[in-house]
Amino acid sequence: MTGLAVEVAGLRRSYGETRAVDGVDLAVAAGECVAVLGPNGAGKTTTVEILEGFRRRDAGDVRVLGVDPASGGRDWRSRLGIVLQSDDERLDATVTELVHHFARYYADPRDPEELIDAVGLRAKAGARGRALSGGQRRRLDVALGIVGRPELVFLDEPTTGFDPEARRAFWDLVDGLRADGTTVLLTTHYLEEAERLADRVVVVDHGRVVAEGPPATLGGRAARRAVVHWDEDGAPRQERTETPTAAVAALAARFGGEVPGLRVQRPTLEDVYLGLVGADAQEEP
């Protein structure tokens, strides 16, 4: 697959007087991983559900794998992987039964047993869904969403409830998907996750895209000045500079070697994100 996996222009969706999505433009290249960030109520979930074909739009042009989601049929859906919230109706079956069952829906599925290992559920393979913890259910959701080798996978808060070790194992799984050419559209509350996985980050606020770009340069991050901190005359000092290496060298020369309390601080993705959406609009863990 080449070109664009997702094309969105002028997307709008309102609920009464509330504009949930207010003119979103978005393009995702085939094979790219894009993370969509935004505070609760920003419009990111509505946008993604329109792309998945679960929700109608009021206006705008949308193409997902070359098809309008509003008219996408069974063949189109078989090319997508969607990780939704857990479905209580399936929780009486075991992990093994569910993954093998869903695999039979696809012509060329991933090996169910290998997939159970990949999402870290081998120890719970014989457990029924309702016996799993919240994080384990989320891993099961991921397994069911990718078992069909999708061309494009939507991951909606996929690592909620994961412990740090499980989260990093999942990141390795996403790396494997991308190595196979899978396009990934990710929503997450974990900024570290977006920075680790995404080629590009799209920040949505009040139904609009307010910034997009690689994590390292989002919002002009690369051009922002670093802050050099040190201690002098019993008090903390700091200097904002575009040339922190030169500033540190000057301090070292002045102190004749080691600089007390030396620390160089560069803007993080979290700093940039909060600057874009407002410090009061922090994501919930």
Please give the full DSSP string across 199-236, using - where no structure is assigned. SEEEEEETTEEEEEE-TTTGGGGGGSPEEEEEEETTEE
Band (268; pLDDT cuts 50, 70, 90): confident
**Rounded-to-integer distance, Cα 10 and Cα 24, Å:** 5
Higher per-residue pLDDT: 85 or 194: 194
Tokens describing residue 274: 């909060």
Residue 277 lies in a domain: no
* Final residue of a structural domain among 192, 219, 246: 219
Please tell me the predicted confidence (pLDDT) of residue 89.
Answer: 61
Tell me the whole-structure pTM to 2 decimals. 0.80
Most confident stretch, 6-20, 73-87, 174-188: 6-20
Q: Kindly give the residue spans of alpha helices, DSSP state H, lying in 5-123.
A: 44-52, 74-77, 95-103, 112-118
Q: Is the pLDDT of residue 26 over 90?
A: yes
Shared domain check, 165 and 231: no
Q: Where residue 282 falls among pLDDT bands split at 50, 70, 90? A: very low
145: closest CA among 84, 54, 75? 84
The whole-number average pLDDT for the span 255-280 is: 84
Is residue 57 included in any domain, yes or no?
yes
Same domain? For 240 and 134 the reply is: no
Q: Taking 90 as the threshold, does the pLDDT of residue 277 lie above it?
A: no
**Is residue 59 domain-shared with residue 112, that is, in the same domain?**
yes
Instruction: Among 74-88, 168-182, 216-230, 232-246, name the most confident range.
Output: 232-246
Please give the structure tokens belonging to residue 156. Answer: 């909606």
Whether 229 and 174 share a structural domain: no
Whether residues 27 and 131 share a domain: the answer is yes
Q: Is residue 154 part of a domain?
A: yes
Q: How far is CA 74 from CA 47, 147, 153, in A?
A: 21, 16, 16
Q: Are residues 149 and 199 in the same domain?
A: yes
76 shares its domain with 159: yes
Residue 188's domain spans which residues? 4-219
CB-facing half-sphere around the CA of 163: CA atoms within 13 A:
4
The answer to whether position 273 is within a domain reads no
Which range, 3-7, 114-118, 132-136, is most confident?
3-7
What CATH number does residue 189 fall under?
Answer: 3.40.50.300
Count of positions (residues) in the chain: 285
Residue 281 lies in a domain: no
For residues 11 and 60, the answer to whether their CB atoms sit within 8 Å is: yes
How many independent structural domains does the chain possess? 2
Secondary structure letter of residue 139 according to DSSP: H
Q: How confident is the model at residue 256 (pLDDT cuts 50, 70, 90)?
A: very high
- φ and ψ of 276, to 5 deg: -80, -40
Q: What pLDDT was estimated at residue 177?
A: 87
Residue 236 has pLDDT above 50, yes or no: yes
Whole-number Å distance between alpha carbons of 72 and 56: 12
Instruction: Tell me which residue of 75, 72, 78, 34 sits closest to 53, measured CA to CA.
Output: 72
List Cβ neighbours of 92 (8 Å cut-off, separation of 6 or more): 128, 129, 130
> Residue 2 has what pLDDT?
53
Residue 254 falls inside a structural domain? yes
Across residues 242-260, what is the average pLDDT? 94
pLDDT value at position 221?
A: 65
Residues 6 or more apart whose Cβ sits within 8 Å of residue 281: 39, 205, 274
Same domain, 154 and 242: no
Q: Looking at the domain assignment, is residue 282 inside a domain?
A: no
**Longest alpha-carbon distance in the chain:** 72
Residue bearing the bigger pLDDT, 269 or 54? 54
* 127 and 231 co-located in one domain: no
Indicate if the pLDDT at residue 283 is higher than 70.
Answer: no
* Percent of the chain residues past pLDDT 70, beyond the cut: 93
